[in-house]
Amino acid sequence: MNALHQYLFDSYRAASLGEPAPPAPGTHDVAVLRAVRDHRRAERARAGRPARGAVRATLRRWLRTS
């Protein structure tokens, strides 16, 4: 069963019980990704490391040592 099937089952159940329908699959994906990015930046700032460019710096370091 994929996310669409689960959504359809949950929508049917909510309609039969008179509850509000659940959000569609993927509705909050972008917000979750932004929250994860912001959390990682905040953790890096608290640790005293640069908050931006971590992936690029890591790739540069890996490619330089190869």
pLDDT band at 45 (very low <50, low <70, confident <90, very high): confident
Query: Which residues lie below 8 Å from residue 2, measured CB to CB, with a gap of 6+?
Result: none
Q: What average pLDDT score do residues 36-42 get?
A: 91
Residue of 42, 61, 62 lying closest to 52 (CA atoms): 42
pTM for this structure?
A: 0.55
Structural domain that includes position 44: 3-65
Query: What is the model's pLDDT at position 66?
Result: 61
**How many domains, the chain?**
1
